[in-house]
Copies of this chain bind each other. A is one copy, B any other.
Amino acid sequence: MEHAAGSSKTHTLEILDTTLRDGAQGEGLSFSVQDKLAVVHALDELGITWIEAGNPGSNPKDGEFFSQLPKLEQAKFCAFGATRKPRSKCADDPQIKSLLKAETEAVALFGKSWDFHVKNVLRISEEENLAMIFETIEYLKAKGRIVFFDAEHFFDGWKANPDYALNTLQTAHKAGADRIILCDTNGGSFPDQITAGVAAAFSVLGGSGSLGIHAHNDMGLAIAASIAAVEAGCTHVQGTLIGFGERCGNTSLAALIPSLQLKLGYVCLPEERLARISELSRLVAEIANMPLSSSIPYVGSSAFSHKGGMHGDGVLKVNRSFEHIDPMLVGNDRHFLMSEVGGRSAVAERARKIDRSITRDHEAVKVVAEKIKTMEAAGWAFEGADGSFELLVRRELGLYKPLFSILAYRVMSEHPTSEAIACNHAWVKVWVDGQDEVAAAEGNGPVHALDSALRRALKRFFPSLEQVRLTDYKVRVINGGAGSAAKVRVLIESSDGHQSWNTVGVSEDIIDASRIALVDSIEYKLIGAST
């Protein structure tokens, strides 16, 4: 393997994203038609070649989606389906009909390569399976489709009965399949087995075979398997952008592509698009309503985070010392985490954004570092709460005193509701510069009611709050074992249309934790802090 460090980009790879098909089989995932359109546009913006958009034959929602495919900048659509039913004709098969009705440029067709499956799952003869592969591909080719043949369980099949597994590939090739994708469907093959399996496939198909890889992460080796396959000659790579997929997921393209493109000299995406991969990965996670793992390679929020004091020090001296690539190349950021093991260097680095003169040995830096240790032990986390962290530093530097206080509040949740009163309502009394003000509001839930009442009471004094809105609200139970008496951490993201900031609150009482984070959010806006 030659590690070209991006210098000799000669090989172009064709990338197929199956977030909307194989990815949607991941636990906890469910895409609406709107969600799917948003994912499609994100993948197109990233410069992915093929989008496998669903299985029109098995899922009516997917069928509906294919009827409203949008025009894309460059990505092309592919519909997914199976070889025809045993002992039937392609022309009569409703599943094949819906594949054609999807009217995509390409069709990905899966068929069995493992004799064990032919016998025990399909329960048909080996010959009938070959006929199903041949006839379905031939039929779809005659209808003008580009055909990707997904050789399901190829590697398991090749280990168990190499002749039969290779015969299914040859059959697909003879029938005119444009690409043959070798699938490690159960995710149980080691990279060296992938290398050997790809070589075996080339040995029967010859140089005219165009091979692809489809790996699963059941041993944590999907990325290694995909790299092994590419190095063995596969030019088509399937995966899901952020690794969604059944069981342990599919190959994460966001984690794979930067290695292929920045380090191994393959072209997967147009060069200028790679720097958007972090942003678009977060977008897809957002659409899916799944948290993007902070530790996912290259695009995770922690992927370039430095917490250990020595690592933080090292990176401040020379970035390269603890970073394998420049995070800018994938559109990610370097972070120095505020935490007990983060060390004073990290606190000082952040404090300098407020006052350039602050050094590691400033008294306030020591006090803040100590305070963070104590608060983290009590369940706080400032790593995702830059706004609260900045207020903490400012208070310690004497650069801030509160502009308002909450004298009292009352939040009520009632059931049943009457016509006159919503289920949730709140009343708040604030004190601002010698004057008080009360306000009340209703809300969908108790926190929403409290938030609305608080803003209403403060608006008279601070009209700029008019533009502020909550853009995200997260609750984390800290000590889960204590049941409903558990301590909770609330993280709030706010925006005024120009910038956004995050604040945190911790309490055994979700209302109180929300109040703390809301107050920080408003204070941060009012001091005009800019990070």
A218 to B447, CA, bound (A): 39
Who on chain B is nearest to A315 by CB? B121
* A79 CB → nearest B CB, Å: 16
A51 to B324, CA, bound (A): 28
Task: Tell whether, in the assembled complex, residue B321 and residue A121 are in contact, meaning their CB atoms are under 8 Å apart.
Answer: yes
Task: Tell whether, in the assembled complex, residue A377 and residue B30 are in contact, meaning their CB atoms are under 8 Å apart.
Answer: yes
A307 proximal to B (CB < 8 A) = yes
Task: Tell whether, in the assembled complex, residue A376 and residue B255 are in contact, meaning their CB atoms are under 8 Å apart.
Answer: no
Task: Tell whether, in the assembled complex, residue B248 and residue A295 are in contact, meaning their CB atoms are under 8 Å apart.
Answer: yes
Partner of A483 from the list B220, B303, B472 (CB cut-off 8 Å) is B472
Q: Which of A273-296 contact B (CB under 8 A)?
A: 286, 289, 293-296
A311 to B185, CA, bound (A): 10
A509 to B282, CA, bound (A): 26
Count copies of this chain in the complex: 2
A227 proximal to B (CB < 8 A) = yes
Task: Tell whether, in the assembled complex, residue B286 and residue A480 are in contact, meaning their CB atoms are under 8 Å apart.
Answer: yes
Partner of A413 from the list B1, B30, B263, B411 (CB cut-off 8 Å) is B411
* Contact flag A116-B321 (CB < 8 Å), given A221-B223, A302-B27: yes
| Interface 9-residue window, one of A69-77, A138-146, A172-180, A335-343 | A335-343
A309 proximal to B (CB < 8 A) = yes
* A172 CB → nearest B CB, Å: 19
Partner of A309 from the list B58, B219, B304, B486 (CB cut-off 8 Å) is B58
Task: Tell whether, in the assembled complex, residue A408 and residue B412 are in contact, meaning their CB atoms are under 8 Å apart.
Answer: no
A475 to B275, CA, bound (A): 34
A473 to B508, CA, bound (A): 12
A368 to B454, CA, bound (A): 43
* A414 CB → nearest B CB, Å: 5
A72 to B191, CA, bound (A): 37
A8 proximal to B (CB < 8 A) = no
Given contacts A188-B324, A473-B477, A475-B510, could you give 14 more A-B pairs where the C-beta distance is less than 8 Å? Answer: A1-B190, A26-B302, A30-B377, A82-B310, A116-B318, A187-B324, A220-B252, A224-B224, A248-B297, A289-B480, A406-B415, A415-B512, A424-B511, A444-B508
